[in-house]
Amino acid sequence: MSEAFGGPHGAPVSNRVPVLRLGDVLLVTLQGDLHDSTAQQLQDDLAESIVRSGAGGVIMDISGVEIVDSFLGRVLAEIAAQTDLLAARTVVVGMRPAVAITLVELGLTLPGMRTALNTEAAMELLTGQAVSSHFGGPRRESQ
Amino acid sequence: MHTAAGSQARLPIRSDMDLVWVRQHVRQAAAQIGFGLVDQTKLVTAASELARNTLIYGGGGTMETEPLTDGGARGLRLTFADEGPGIADLEQALSDGFTSGEGLGLGLGGARRLVHEFAIDSAPGAGTMVRVTSWVGRPPRPREES
Ligand SMILES: Nc1ncnc2c1ncn2[C@@H]1O[C@H](COP(=O)(O)OP(=O)(O)O)[C@@H](O)[C@H]1O
Ligand SMILES: [Mg+2]
């Protein structure tokens, strides 16, 4: 999985978030402090990946994200709405407690956003079955 | 109340890269002053909202950080300033859901809820200045008050 966090040669990905494919599900791991343009690029990339792969679900792991402001919150909500329109579902996993507390006070409630505590739970939610080891290694879907 | 020694800084806000610097700087300053993780996150989020407004609506500007001491209390003050078009109707701008752009309209109202003290000074043609202050260990202000 370490492939998910770096570019082709392990260099940090600065302006594109990799989208990995795990069976019928696309896995996106957001980390660190995202530029506005990176978040927007991800939104476009994901729509394309869903259409191209026919994936039925998207898991957005935000456990590495230290803050979600109204800009990133809107991008997450738009990704969820957009995947709905493309007949897929998005589950956001791993929101840090400090981020959740802050979002409530900010007034961003993200209605309709599905969340799960971890990737396994999200996978179960999306595929309706317990996760076993039959998934092969992650395949790079776009980069 | 006076300014604590050191760590005063002024950062430019001219690009979305600068928004990243602003967040990192506020995170570091808040941690250094002794804010806990949740309070750091609130301050950084408020700063991100206000810096983005400075960039998008104010056409760019600056953020100043100032560590404060008041008796035994320690705080951090952030001042965002631009020389953009200013805000004609402050009450409208502060109300949740109002945006003149493509935002969610939660930046000003949300930032106000996330800090202890919030002041805004703006007039059409005269730019905008937003100043927020939070204090270490002080409970959040009651929700209704915002
Ligand atoms: N620095 C600024 N200069 C001019 N107008 C501003 C500034 N900051 C905020 N505003 C006005 O206040 C409105 C509300 O801001 P905000 O609550 O952050 O919501 P949003 O950024 O989503 O529009 C903005 O749409 C804009 O019209
Ligand atoms: Mg705003």
CATH number of the CATH domain containing A85: 3.30.750.24
- pLDDT value, residue A142: 52
- pLDDT value, residue B140: 85
Please compute the mean of the pLDDT values over residues A39-59 and round it to a whole number.
Answer: 94
If one residue of B89, B108, B114, B132 were mutated to test the ligand 1 pocket, choosing by the most ligand atoms within 8 A of its CB, it would be B108
Quickly count helices (H) and strands (E) in chain B.
Answer: 4, 6
**Residue at A46 is within a domain:** yes
Q: Percent of chain A at pLDDT above 70? A: 80
**Residue at A25 is within a domain:** yes
Pocket lining: B108 vs ligand 1, CB cutoff 6 Å: yes
Query: Rounded distance, CA B109 to CA B94, Å?
Result: 5
- The ligand 1 atom at the shortest distance from the C-alpha of residue B80 is 1
**Residue at A79 is within a domain:** yes
Name the domain count of chain A.
1
- B1 CA: distance to closest CA in chain A (Å): 28
- pLDDT value, residue A13: 42
| Average pLDDT value over all residues in chain A | 83
**Residue at A10 is within a domain:** no
Residues 73-102 of A with CB under 8 A from B: 73-74, 96-99, 101-102
Q: In which element (H, E) is residue B104 found?
A: none
Which ligand has the minimum distance to the alpha carbon of residue A74? Answer: 1
Structural domain boundaries enclosing A106: 17-121
Q: Is pLDDT of A15 > 90?
A: no
- pLDDT value, residue A11: 39
**Residue at A11 is within a domain:** no
- pLDDT value, residue A4: 38
Query: Rounded distance, CA A98 to CA A94, Å?
Result: 11
- pLDDT value, residue B10: 97
Pocket lining: B85 vs ligand 1, CB cutoff 6 Å: yes
- pLDDT value, residue B1: 54
Please name the amino acid found at residue B22.
V
- Comparing alpha-carbon positions, the chain A residue that sits nearest to B51 is A69
Query: Are the C-beta atoms of B80 and B63 separated by less than 8 Å?
Result: yes
Query: Rounded distance, CA A5 to CA A70, Å?
Result: 25
pLDDT tens track for A79-132 = 999 999 999 999 999 999 999 999 999 999 887 789 999 999 999 999 887 665
Q: Over its length of 146 residues, how does chain B's per-residue pLDDT go in tens digits?
A: 555 545 799 999 999 899 999 999 999 999 999 999 999 999 999 999 999 999 999 999 999 999 999 999 999 999 999 999 999 999 999 999 999 999 999 999 999 999 999 999 999 999 999 999 999 999 887 765 44
pLDDT band at residue A26 under the 50/70/90 scheme: very high
Would you tell me how many other CB atoms lie within 10 Å of the CB of residue B2?
Answer: 7
Query: Are the C-beta atoms of B83 and B72 separated by less than 8 Å?
Result: no
User: What is the value of pTM for the model shown?
Assistant: 0.89
Domain topology for B2-135:
Heat Shock Protein 90 (3.30.565)
Cα A12 to ligand 2 centre (Å): 29
List the single best residue of B13, B24, B106, B115 to mutate versus A (max A Cβ within 10 A). B106
- B93 CA: distance to closest CA in chain A (Å): 15
**Which positions in chain B touch A102 (Cβ < 8 Å)?**
38, 41-42, 45, 114
- A54 CA: distance to closest CA in chain B (Å): 30
- pLDDT value, residue A3: 35
ipTM, 2 dp: 0.91
